[in-house]
């Protein structure tokens, strides 16, 4: 493409993936990302330290970036399940998501994202309706603060084993939610397509009316290989599924399906993290190179 990718998408990164909290201070990380004008957006997660939250809020106000809030760590780190068939457990998950809305509002985010919880075949329909209940409550509360809510589509039997899940079930869920709330959408992630045994074309076409946000990244789905599962290794990682050709195919599908919108660009963040002793900043730079190459190869 001759035109810049930034014309059609707000390019961002998931802060806690690019700079894992075990190795990077969140304030330093946000400053690094905010000072890089390649990024139009940033996705941040929950804070345990109020002083650091305040510093990040101040930086984001100065940075002129779109801010998105990821509530996924609130669920994954605690095991809370928004589709828990036990009502007490479901309410606990709902409570942390409502707290996420408050934190997102404080930080200047326009939306929160979360994921469905684990499920069992014998209680799948009950879990589905439990997830509807949780999501409706969260959407209603978010709407009162003029925030949107995005459900991220994950694998259903490989790693996270989330209810939502394969694209056809995600489409059913989104259609049901849209009859209840107009601030609900789906977040789809290129790195999850191999883990759900689906292609870019299938996922994007199946979920076309409901997609509001994009992630891009990589996965290893060969059992027994390093970084197997939903680990988000860098593009081109050994035995992995995605690199420049797969990202180019993803861009082509988005173009064909009408997602190139200069007037109101979608957010597209990369969810790529350093593996073991890899350097997060080097991985960030390498990911930008893959994006730039795939975009350059995309036909006008």
**pLDDT-based confidence at residue 273 (cuts at 50, 70, 90):** very high
CATH of domain 5-297: 3.20.20.150
* pTM, entire model: 0.97
Question: Which pLDDT belongs to residue 207?
Answer: 98
Are the C-beta atoms of residues 248 and 297 closer than 8 Å to each other? yes
Q: Where are the domains of the chain?
A: 5-297
**pLDDT-based confidence at residue 286 (cuts at 50, 70, 90):** very high
| Predicted confidence (pLDDT) per residue in 136-174, tens digit | 999 999 999 999 999 999 999 999 999 999 999 999 999
Among candidate residues 76, 77, 70, the one with its CA nearest the CA of residue 100: 70
Question: Which pLDDT belongs to residue 93?
Answer: 98
Question: Which pLDDT belongs to residue 265?
Answer: 98
What's the average model confidence in pLDDT over 48-65?
98
Are the C-beta atoms of residues 84 and 128 closer than 8 Å to each other? no
What's the average model confidence in pLDDT over 29-54?
98
Question: Which pLDDT belongs to residue 15?
Answer: 98
What's the average model confidence in pLDDT over 203-228?
98
Question: Which pLDDT belongs to residue 166?
Answer: 97
Phi, psi values for residue 264, rounded to 5°: -145, 75
Phi, psi values for residue 3, rounded to 5°: -80, 155
Mean residue pLDDT of the chain comes to 98
pLDDT > 90 in the chain, percent: 100
């Amino acid at each position: 493409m001759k035109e810049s990718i930034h014309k059609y998408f707000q390019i961002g990164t998931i802060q806690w993936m690019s700079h894992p909290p075990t190795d990077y201070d969140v304030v330093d990380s946000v400053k690094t990302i905010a000072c890089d004008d390649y990024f139009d957006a940033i996705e941040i997660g929950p804070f345990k330290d109020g002083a650091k939250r305040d510093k990040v809020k101040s930086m984001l106000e100065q940075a002129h970036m779109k801010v998105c809030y990821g509530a996924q760590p609130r669920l994954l780190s605690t095991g809370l399940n928004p589709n828990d068939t036990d009502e007490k457990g479901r309410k606990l998950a709902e409570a942390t998501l409502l707290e996420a809305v408050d934190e997102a509002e404080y930080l200047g985010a326009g939306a929160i994202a979360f994921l469905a919880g684990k499920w069992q075949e014998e209680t799948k329909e009950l879990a589905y309706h439990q997830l509807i209940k949780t999501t409706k409550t969260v959407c209603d509360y978010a709407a009162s603060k003029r925030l949107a809510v995005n459900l991220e589509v994950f694998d259903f039997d490989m790693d996270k084993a989330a209810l939502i899940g394969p694209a056809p079930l995600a489409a059913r869920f989104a259609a049901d939610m849209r009859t209840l709330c107009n601030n609900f959408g789906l977040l789809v992630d290129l790195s999850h397509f191999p883990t759900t045994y689906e292609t870019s074309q299938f996922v994007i076409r199946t979920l076309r009316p409901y997609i509001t946000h994009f992630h891009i990244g990589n996965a290893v789905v060969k059992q027994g290989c390093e970084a197997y599962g939903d680990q988000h290794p860098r593009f081109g990682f050994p035995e992995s599924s995605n690199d420049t050709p797969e990202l180019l195919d993803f861009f082509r599908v988005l173009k064909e399906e009408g997602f190139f919108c200069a007037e109101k660009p979608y957010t597209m963040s990369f969810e790529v993290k350093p593996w073991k002793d890899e350097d997060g900043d080097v991985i960030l730079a390498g990911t930008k190179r893959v994006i730039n190459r795939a975009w350059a190869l995309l036909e006008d």
